[in-house]
Amino acid sequence: MGKFEVMDHPLIQHKLTMIRDKNVGTKFFRETVKEISTLMAYEVARDMPLKDVEVETPIAKTTKKELAGKKVAIIPILRAGLGMVDGMTDLIPAAKIGFIGMYRDEETLKPHEYFVKLPNDITERQLFIVDPMLATGGSAMMAIEALKKRGCSEKNMKFACLVAAPEGVKAVREAYPDVDIYAAGLDDHLNKDGYIVPGLGDAGDRLFGTK
Ligand code: PRP
Ligand code: URA
């Protein structure tokens, strides 16, 4: 079973609380999502494998650690996932970026896929799928399925979001038990319109100033 981790670092909690405020403008919202994403990248990368390498310091030769294993691809679920990419590449600058375009039908709450563009070597990479909101879980599950259809393994997938609803976490974990899930906050429930309560509203609209 993959892990489900709520990141309780004080800086993450503080910044998440700031962007929940409905009076916060687009610029501040976007900058803070980026900052939270950088902090989350640090935690999501915590179990990346290391290998021994020799290095010669100005004083002596020594054997120390460097990253081994799979290289990373960050996969934002469009649109809102885009807001988390730059924060993550600040820490993992060589990551390749793949895109999965998806929107949720406002009536049915079912996701619709409209775009997929992935690096050629996607099946060889450790995948960080990013989307600020995990609500019903429909979009996350369709993104995971799109990656599996192209040969990616669940075991190589980590899903990172800012706010998760218990309903979405349960759905994704039941359908894809090997995918690790990381959330900056776990909220109470979904309302009848499929919004996370208390949540932070529509993440895409708040990031890009649309409404
Ligand atoms: C939002 C959000 C997730 C999805 C979550 O995207 O960014 O992708 O809803 O809901 P779910 O877990 O119930 O599927 P939206 O469809 O609003 O598109 P956008 O990113 O273009 O705003
Ligand atoms: N998508 C959002 O952007 N916000 C929610 O609360 C639920 C889905």
pLDDT tens-digit readout, 133-172: 999 999 999 999 999 999 999 999 999 999 999 999 999 9
Q: Which of 17-26, 67-76, 186-195 has the weakest average pLDDT?
A: 67-76
**CA–centroid distance, residue 2 to ligand 2 (Å):** 24
The ipTM is: 0.98
DSSP state of 146: H
pLDDT at 204: 97
Average pLDDT of span 34-47: 96
Is the CB–ligand 2 distance for residue 203 below 6 Å? yes
Is the CB–ligand 1 distance for residue 83 below 6 Å? no
Is 125 within any annotated ligand binding site?
no
Catalytic residues: 104, 108, 202, 205
Is 131 within any annotated ligand binding site?
yes
Percent of the chain with pLDDT over 90: 97
Nearest ligand by distance to the CA of 110: 1
Which band of pLDDT confidence, cut at 50, 70 and 90, is reported for residue 211?
Answer: confident
Residue found under tokens 């079912």: 110
Which band of pLDDT confidence, cut at 50, 70 and 90, is reported for residue 8?
Answer: confident
Q: Which atom of ligand 1 is nearest to the CA of 77?
A: 8
- Percentages helix, strand, coil for the chain (3-state, rounded to 5) are 35, 30, 35
Is the CB–ligand 1 distance for residue 196 below 6 Å? no
Nearest ligand by distance to the CA of 189: 2
Element (H, E) at 171: helix 166-175
- List the beta bridge partners of residue 183: 6, 161
Q: Please, are residues 85 and 40 in contact by the beta-carbon 8 Å criterion?
A: no
Q: End-to-end CA distance of the chain, in Å?
A: 39
Residue found under tokens 């996607």: 122
pLDDT tens-digit readout, 42-71: 999 999 999 999 999 999 999 999 999 779
Q: Please, are residues 159 and 179 in contact by the beta-carbon 8 Å criterion?
A: yes
Mutate to test the pocket of ligand 1, among 33, 109, 133 (most ligand atoms within 8 A of CB): 133
Between CA 58 and CA 186 the distance in angstroms is 47
